[in-house]
């Protein structure tokens, strides 16, 4: 220990030395995800299917405890603010495994503790300013060598040896079938397109990534155009589901309910115990902007449309020189482009299929729906 370190740093080292005298408990697992979803939920579900969760004390860190506690008996849900209490700190200290999708939940430097960052996916947004404490993690999950290189840049030069190319657990759903259309009361005769914008305004009020023009995620369309779009969707037997990001502040978005065009938030899905990736697995096409979801959706090998109307005002910038080069699909800037994408989906003719296949091979080493199993087996759970 350096003798000229700041007092707080010295105290932290002393406390960590004391904590490390006591071993972690390999029978305690903490999962973290803001909305009880994402890669953490997919990993948890697979562990549950394999009967693994019965052998562990499971804790879940979420934003809304009451929404899940009565459904998942035997799992302890705790809110984020509990992590700073005495009980929360004890959980963080003694947990043998910590799996997170958004925020770290373990103790940096804790010996014997697995602190695995499953991540919220890989997009081409420049998010370096949000990953300044990567030393807390012992393991980071990624999808390919190319993805690992991008992650290394995003994570400010994090040692690439910490990264494991296992694939994201949430994408395993793409290799399964479900009756999610029936659960969502969407006719089986309708083609399904999912529109997933990245969030522009953080629900906690700490970020405005969209700039001055990002006050409405659907500013791309006015009311008259929305009605016309719904009419065309009805004619072509297409249902368009617009699913807002779990971090999006809903004060800045439109809530729409037409016959073939409707907006959804996380609660709409969680009350039915449906994950967005179950819906994507049964969809016929995806519309997004530069959200990480489209790099996952490449595994489905279905048309992708890109809303680029807000790119110039996106405040974070991008991690690649020209993000358009990594968008294998029609570029949408207005109602005409949007209708062209609907035509691509319904006609079965996609001029971007070859380019999409090339990017899929870059972004994904595994295409087998066994990402969660690789993680479970690697850690010996």
The mean pLDDT value for 327-335 works out to: 91
- Is the pLDDT at 175 greater than 90, yes or no? yes
The mean pLDDT value for 62-87 works out to: 80
Give the helix/strand (H/E) hosting 316: none
Confidence (pLDDT) at 42: 96
Across the chain, mean pLDDT equals 83
- Is the pLDDT at 256 greater than 80, yes or no? no
Regarding beta strands 57-62 and 75-79, do their DSSP bridges make them parallel or antiparallel, or are they unpaired? parallel
* Distance from C-alpha of 295 to C-alpha of 189, rounded to nearest angstrom: 27
Check: CB of residue 300 under 8 Å from CB of residue 280.
yes
Q: pTM, whole model, 2 decimals?
A: 0.86
Q: Measured between alpha carbons, how far is residue 67 from residues 33, 64, 263, 314 in Å?
A: 14, 6, 21, 33
Greater model confidence, 176 or 159 = 176
Greater model confidence, 274 or 155 = 274
Separation of first and last alpha carbons in the chain:
35
CB proximity list for 343: less than 8 A, separation 6 or greater: 236
Confidence (pLDDT) at 9: 55
Confidence bin at 249 (pLDDT 50/70/90): low
Low-confidence winner among 111-120, 295-304, 322-331 (lowest mean pLDDT) = 322-331
Share of the chain above pLDDT 70, in %: 81
CATH number, span 176-363: 3.40.50.12580
Confidence bin at 53 (pLDDT 50/70/90): very high
What is the gyration radius of the CA atoms in the chain, in angstroms? Answer: 22
The mean pLDDT value for 65-87 works out to: 80
Confidence bin at 371 (pLDDT 50/70/90): very high
Check: CB of residue 56 under 8 Å from CB of residue 85.
no
* Distance from C-alpha of 337 to C-alpha of 122, rounded to nearest angstrom: 26
Confidence (pLDDT) at 95: 94
* Distance from C-alpha of 270 to C-alpha of 327, rounded to nearest angstrom: 30
Confidence (pLDDT) at 367: 96
The mean pLDDT value for 218-227 works out to: 79
Going from N- to C-terminal start, the domains of the chain cover 19-167+368-378, 176-363
* Distance from C-alpha of 232 to C-alpha of 22, rounded to nearest angstrom: 65
Most confident stretch, 63-72, 208-217, 257-266, 274-283: 274-283
Across 244-276, b (16+ Cβ under 10 Å) vs e yields bbbbbbeebbeebeeebbbbbbbeebbeeebbb
- Is the pLDDT at 149 greater than 90, yes or no? no
Q: Where are the beta strands (DSSP E) in 88-158?
A: 95-100, 114-117, 139-142
- The three-class DSSP label of residue 5 is coil
19-167+368-378 maps to CATH 3.40.50.2000 = yes
Residue with tokens 């990534």: 209
* Distance from C-alpha of 226 to C-alpha of 210, rounded to nearest angstrom: 22
The strand pairing partners of 287, in sequence order, are 195, 305
Give the helix/strand (H/E) hosting 49: helix 38-49
* Distance from C-alpha of 306 to C-alpha of 349, rounded to nearest angstrom: 17
Q: Which long-range contacts (CB under 8 A, 24 or more apart) does 280-284 make?
A: 280/173, 280/174, 280/194, 281/173, 281/174, 281/176, 281/177, 281/178, 281/180, 282/177, 282/178, 282/180, 282/181, 282/192, 283/192, 283/193, 283/194, 284/191, 284/192, 284/193, 284/238, 284/345
Confidence (pLDDT) at 273: 83
Q: Can 19-167+368-378 and 176-363 be said to share one CATH topology?
A: yes
The mean pLDDT value for 2-23 works out to: 65
């Amino acid at each position: 220990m350096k003798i000229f370190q700041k007092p707080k740093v010295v105290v932290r080292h002393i406390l960590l030395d004391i904590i490390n005298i006591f071993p972690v408990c390999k029978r305690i697992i903490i999962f973290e995800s803001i909305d009880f979803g994402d890669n953490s939920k997919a990993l948890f579900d697979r562990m549950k299917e394999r009967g693994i969760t019965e052998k562990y004390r499971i804790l879940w860190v979420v934003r809304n405890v009451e929404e899940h506690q009565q459904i998942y008996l035997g799992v302890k849900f705790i809110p984020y603010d509990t992590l700073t209490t005495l009980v929360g700190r004890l959980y963080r200290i003694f947990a043998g495994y910590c799996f997170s999708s958004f925020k770290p939940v373990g103790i940096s430097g804790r010996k014997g503790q697995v602190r695995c960052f499953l991540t919220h996916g890989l997009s081409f947004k420049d998010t370096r300013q949000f990953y300044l404490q990567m030393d807390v993690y012992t393991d980071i999950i990624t999808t390919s060598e190319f993805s690992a290189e991008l992650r290394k840049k995003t994570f400010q030069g994090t040692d690439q040896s910490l990264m494991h190319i296992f694939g994201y657990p949430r994408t395993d759903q793409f290799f399964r079938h479900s009756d999610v259309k029936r659960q969502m009361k969407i006719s089986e005769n309708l083609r399904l397109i999912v529109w997933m914008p990245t969030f522009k305004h953080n629900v906690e009020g700490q970020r405005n990534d969209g700039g001055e023009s990002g006050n409405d995620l659907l500013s791309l369309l006015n009311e008259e155009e929305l009605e016309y779009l719904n009419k065309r969707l009805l004619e072509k037997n297409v249902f368009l589901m617009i699913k807002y990001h779990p971090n999006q502040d809903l004060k800045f978005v439109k809530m729409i309910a037409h016959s073939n065009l409707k907006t959804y938030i996380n609660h709409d899905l969680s009350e039915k115990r449906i994950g967005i990736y179950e819906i994507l697995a049964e969809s016929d096409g995806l519309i997004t902007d530069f959200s990480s979801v489209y790099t996952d959706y490449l595994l489905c090998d279905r048309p992708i449309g890109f809303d680029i109307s807000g790119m110039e005002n996106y405040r974070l910038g991008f991690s690649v020189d020209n993000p358009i080069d990594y968008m294998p699909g029609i570029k949408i800037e207005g109602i005409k482009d949007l209708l062209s994408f609907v035509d691509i989906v319904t006609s079965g003719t996609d001029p971007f299929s070859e380019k999409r296949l090339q990017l899929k091979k870059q972004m994904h080493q595994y295409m087998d729906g066994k990402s969660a199993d690789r993680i479970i087996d690697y850690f010996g759970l």
